[in-house]
Structure 1
Amino acid sequence: MESSPPAARPGAVVGILAFAGIVAALTQTLVVPLIAELPKLFDTSASNASWVITATLLAAAVATPVAGRLGDMYGKRRMLLVSLVPLVLGSVVCALSSSVVPMIGGRALQGLGMGVVPLGISLLRDVVPAEKLGPSIAIMSASMGVGGALGLPFAAAIAENSSWRVLFWVVAVLAVAVGALILALVPGDRPATRSTSFDLLGAVGLGAALICLLLAVSKGADWGWGSATTLTLFAAVLVLLPAWGWWELRLSEPLVDLRVTVRPQVLMTNTASILVGFAMYAQSLVVPQLLQLPEATGYGLGQSMLAMGLWMAPAGLMMMAMSPVGAKLSAAKGPKVTLAVGSLLIAAGYGLSVPLIGADSPWSLLIVTLVCNSGVGFAYGAMPALIMGAVPQSETASANSFNALMRSIGTSFAAAVIGVVLARMTTDFGGFQLASQNGFRVAMLIGCGVGLAAAVVAALIPVRPPTAPLRPAASNSPAGVPEASESKA
C-alpha cells in the first residue's frame, strides 16, 4: 500500500493539485502549434494527422468517469497517482514517435490521464479544512484555464525555436514532478465506498456510447453529416445510451448512479455544464483565428503563432485571478448565484466581441477574452461545489468526473457547431476560402446565446439545503460543501 503522509498545509495541497491540473491542460493544448506541420512531419494526410487530437478527446471521455468511480472505491489520491502513469508514458511515446500511428497511440495514453482534475477537486473535499474548501475548489477548477492559456505560447515558442519532441519531454518531466509532490506532500484519503466490485460492463457501455457520440460530432464535418458513417454512429448512440442506462439502474453499485444524477440540483448543474463548456470553448476557436488571419482580409490581425499565444495567455491568468472572487460570492450568495453570474459574464464577453471584430488592434480581442474567462473562472468554481452539495460522500469523485465529462461534451459540440458556421460562411481571399467576418460574428453571437441559456439554467437550479450537520475536514465532510443525504432516492 502506498504511504500516506501526514496532513500538509492546505496551501501546499491546493498548489500541488492545481499544478497537476495545469499539466493536464498543457497536455491538451501542446499540439495546437503542430497541427499544420503534422502531415509533413509524419508523411501522412491531414485527415490522419487530425487523429492526434481526436484520440486524446476520446480516451479522456472514456477514462474520466472510470477514474472517478475507482477514486471513490480505492482512494482519490491513489487514482491521481495512477492517472499520471499513462500521462508520462504517453508523453514519452509521443516524444519518440517517428510516424503518425505511435503518435496517435501516445496521445490516447495522455488522454487516459485527464481524470486528474475532477479527482483533484474531489480529493479537496477530504483533505482541506472546511473554511478553505470553497476557494480551493475555485483555484483547482481554474487550473485548466491557466494550463490551456499558457500552453499555447509555451508550445509555440518551443516549436519555433527547438524540436517539437521537447514539448513532450517537458510534459513527461512535469508529470513525474507532480507525482513526486503528491506522494510527498498530499495527505491520503480513505476510500468513500466499501465496494469491491467494479461495473466493467457499465464502463464498456458508456465508453462505447461516448466514442460513437464524440466521433460523430468531431468528425461529422469531415465525413459529411449525412454520410452513412456519421448517421450509423448517431444511431448507435441512440441504442447504446438507453441500454447503458437500463443496466446502470439494475445495479446497486453502478459506474454512474443515475438515481443521483437525476436529482434536480445535479441534473440542472450538469445541463448548465454542457452549455458553459460550449460557451467557454467557442471563443477559443474564434479569437486565435482572428489574431492570425492576414491583415489584408480587413478583419485579421496578422499575428504569428507565438504572438497569438501571448495575446491569449492573460485570459487564462484572469480565470485564476477571478476564482477567489467567485469563491467569496459563493460563500455569500451560494454557488448557484456564482454560476449564473459567471454565465452572464461569458455572454457579455461574446456580446462585446461583435462590434469589436474588425477593429484594428489585438487589444480589442484581449478585452473579449478577459471578460469571457472571468465568467469561466466563476462558473468552473461553482459547478463542483453544486455537485458536491447534492451527492453522497461515497460518490464525490464519480459525480465530479461525470460533471467534467458534461463540460467536455459541451466543448465537443462547440467545435462542431462553430466549425460548421465558419466553414459555411466564407469569403474568397486570393483563391482561398477563408471564414468571413460575418461568419465570426455569427459564431460569437451563438456563444452569447449559449452563455445566456446557461445563466437561465443556473438560475433555475433548485439548491437543496443541508440535510446533515456540517462536519470538519477531519471527518471527511468539510463545511462549504454541504453533506448530501446518503439516500439515493
Structure 2
Amino acid sequence: MDSAQPATRPGAVIGILAFGGIVAAITQTLVVPLIAELPDLLDTSPSNASWVITATLLAAAVATPVAGRLGDMFGKRRMLLASLIPLLVGSVVCAVSSSVVPMIAGRGLQGMGMGVVPLGISLLRDIVPAERLGSAIAIMSASMGVGGALGLPLAAAIAENASWRVLFWVVAALALAVGALIVTLVPADRENTARGGFDGLGAIGLGAGLICLLLGVSKGADWGWGSATTLGLFAGAVVTLLAWAWWELRLSDPLVDLRVTARPQVLMTNAASVLVGFSMYAQSLVVPQLLQLPEATGYGLGQSMVAMGLWMAPAGLMMMAMSPLGAKLSAARGPKVTLAVGSLVIAAGYGLGLPLISSGSTWSLLIVTIVCNTGVGFAYGAMPALIMGAVPPSETASANSFNTLMRSIGSSVSAAVIGVVLAQMTTDFGGYALPSENGFRVAMAIGCGVGLTAAVVASLIPVRQSVGRVEPAAVPAAATAAEAPETKA
C-alpha cells in the first residue's frame, strides 16, 4: 500500500463511509416533492417526467454490480471515489437542466453513484479492526434508510422555500465533500486479490436483463400489465438473464460468480433480501399517502409535504440508532438470528398498522414506521455480515453489490404490487379516485405477510461456522499504531 495514504482512524472511517451512503441515498427521494411540478418545470408530459425517477432506478441497478466487481479488481476505495464522480456530475447536470432529456441523463448519472453503499461495506472489512467490524457494517447498512428518510423533508423544505435547482447543488456539494473526506482520511483497502479481467459482455447482458425486468415492473401499471410492451419486456428479461447466467458459468472470472451466489448461505440470504426489500418499501408507500390525504376521507391526516417528511424522518434515524444493538445481537447469536428477528419486527410493525390506519393520529403512524424501520435496521446490518461470512475476501464487493441489487429488486416489485393494490381499491372523493381505507389495510397485510415469509427464509439459512463469520480486517502495521488512540472513537 502507498506509504502516503491516510492512517486508519476507525471512528472517522466509519463516519465518512456512512456519510457517503447517506448522500447517495438522498438522491432516491430527492425529486419526490417535485413529482407534481416536473411536467411544468421541464415543459413535458407527466409520462415523460416519470422517467426522472425511473432513470435513477435503472442506472443504479446496472451500475451497482459493475462497481462491485471493479472494486474487487482495482480497489474499493478507488471505486468509491470513481462512483462519486457520476453522482457529482449528474447533480450539476440536473441543477442546470431546463428540459426533460438532460434531467433524465443527470438522474441516470446520479443512479450510477449508488455503488457507494456496497463498496463502503466491503471496504470496512479490509480497514476496520475486527472488534468494530460488526457495528461498522450495521451503521453503514443503515445509512441508506437514513439518507432516504432525511432526503424527503430536506427536499420538501428546499423546494418550498427556494429554487428547486438548489436541491441538486446541495447534493453536488455533499458529494464533493464526501470525496474530499475519503481522500484525506480513508486508507486504501488490502492488496487486490481478485483475478482475471473485467467481463464486459457479462456487464452488458446483466444490464440489459435488469433494464427489461425493472422497466416492466416500474412502468407496467402505466402501460398495462397485459400489454405487448410489458409482456415483451418480461419475456426479454427472462431470455436475457438466462443467457447471461449461461455465459457467466462458462467464465473463470465472471462479473458475478454464480457458483458463489449458489452457495446455500448466499442464496438464502439473497432470497431473504428480496423479501425484506419488499416489506421495507411497502410502508414507505402507504404511510406518506395516509399522512397527506385529506382529513375528510376519514382516514387521511391532511399533512403538508414538509410535515409528512418530518413525520417520516424519525423512522430513518431509528435505523441508525438501532444498528449497534443489531450488531450486538449478531455477535452474540449470529447474523442469521438478527435477520430473522428484524424480519419479525417488520411484520409486527405492519401488524400494528392494521388497526391504527383509521386512528386519525399522526403519532400512531409514527409508531408504525419506527417499529418497521427498527426491523429494517436489524435486517440490513445482518445481510452483509452473512454474505461476507460466506465469500472470499477477493469477492466481497461484488457479492455485496449483488445483495444490494436483490434488495432493490424487492423494493421495485413492492412498488408495483402495492401500487396495483392502491390503484384498484379506491373510493370516490369529490369526483377523484383515492386509495380506500381497505386498500391501505390490504397493503399493510401484504407487508406483514412478506415480513413473516422473510423471517422463515432467514431461519432456514444454513450457516456453517467454518465459513459463516466475517474474517478479521487486515490492517497494516503502520495503521495499527495510528489507531491506538482512536479505540474510543
Does the alignment reach a TM-score above 0.5? yes
Query: Alpha-carbon deviation of 1:2?
Result: 8.5
Tell me the equivalent position of 2:483.
none
* Match runs of 1:359-378 below 5 Å: 359-378=359-378
Structure 2 CA distance for aligned equivalents of residues 284 and 425 of structure 1:
18
Tell me the equivalent position of 2:146.
146
Identity of aligned residues (%): 82
Query: Alpha-carbon deviation of 1:182?
Result: 0.2
Query: Alpha-carbon deviation of 1:464?
Result: 1.4
Deviations 1:50-105 (A, max 9, x none): 00000000000000000000000000000000000000000000000000110000
1:205 is the counterpart of 2:178: no
Tell me the equivalent position of 1:163.
163
Conserved 8 A contact 1:90-1:105: yes
SS where residue 115 of structure 1 aligns?
helix
Conserved 8 A contact 2:125-2:471: no
Conserved 8 A contact 2:389-2:471: no
Aligned residues: 476
**Structure 2: 5+ residue stretches without partners:** 477-489
SS where residue 433 of structure 2 aligns?
strand
Structure 1 CA distance for aligned equivalents of residues 444 and 194 of structure 2:
48
Query: Alpha-carbon deviation of 1:192?
Result: 3.3
Tell me the equivalent position of 1:480.
none
TM-score (norm 2): 0.96
* Match runs of 1:81-230 below 5 Å: 81-230=81-230
Tell me the equivalent position of 2:355.
355
Conserved 8 A contact 2:299-2:360: yes
Conserved 8 A contact 1:3-1:183: no
Query: Alpha-carbon deviation of 1:197?
Result: 1.1
Conserved 8 A contact 1:76-1:191: no
RMSD over equivalenced CA pairs, Å: 1.4
Tell me the equivalent position of 1:245.
245
Moved over 4 A (4+): 1-4, 467-472
* Match runs of 1:300-311 below 5 Å: 300-311=300-311
Query: Alpha-carbon deviation of 1:42?
Result: 1.1
Structure 1 CA distance for aligned equivalents of residues 400 and 4 of structure 2:
23
Conserved 8 A contact 2:134-2:327: yes
Letter in 1 for 2:31: V
* Match runs of 1:428-439 below 5 Å: 428-439=428-439
Letter in 2 for 1:444: M
Tell me the equivalent position of 1:449.
449
Query: Alpha-carbon deviation of 1:27?
Result: 1.0
Sort the Cα spacing of 1:462 and 1:187 in 2 relative to 1 into closer, same or farther, 3 A: same
Conserved 8 A contact 2:145-2:319: yes
Tell me the equivalent position of 1:458.
458
Letter in 2 for 1:259: R
SS where residue 371 of structure 1 aligns?
helix
Sort the Cα spacing of 1:194 and 1:470 in 2 relative to 1 into closer, same or farther, 3 A: closer
Tell me the equivalent position of 1:295.
295
Conserved 8 A contact 1:77-1:123: yes
**Structure 1: 5+ residue stretches without partners:** 477-489
SS where residue 355 of structure 1 aligns?
helix
Query: Alpha-carbon deviation of 1:8?
Result: 2.2
SS where residue 428 of structure 1 aligns?
strand
Structure 1 CA distance for aligned equivalents of residues 147 and 377 of structure 2:
13
Conserved 8 A contact 1:71-1:191: no
Structure 1 CA distance for aligned equivalents of residues 100 and 108 of structure 2:
12
Conserved 8 A contact 1:83-1:114: yes
Conserved 8 A contact 2:120-2:140: yes
Structure 2 CA distance for aligned equivalents of residues 432 and 74 of structure 1:
54
Tell me the equivalent position of 1:39.
39
Conserved 8 A contact 1:319-1:376: yes
1:340 is the counterpart of 2:340: yes
* Match runs of 1:3-18 below 5 Å: 5-18=5-18
Tell me the equivalent position of 1:26.
26
Structure 2 CA distance for aligned equivalents of residues 46 and 272 of structure 1:
35
Letter in 2 for 1:413: V
Conserved 8 A contact 1:75-1:192: yes
Query: Alpha-carbon deviation of 1:465?
Result: 1.3
Query: Alpha-carbon deviation of 1:195?
Result: 2.8
Q: Which range is displaced more, 194-203 or 465-474?
A: 465-474
1:324 is the counterpart of 2:324: yes
Letter in 2 for 1:21: G
Sort the Cα spacing of 1:254 and 1:191 in 2 relative to 1 into closer, same or farther, 3 A: farther
* Match runs of 1:382-393 below 5 Å: 382-393=382-393
Deviations 1:344-375 (A, max 9, x none): 00000001000000111100100000000000
Letter in 2 for 1:394: S
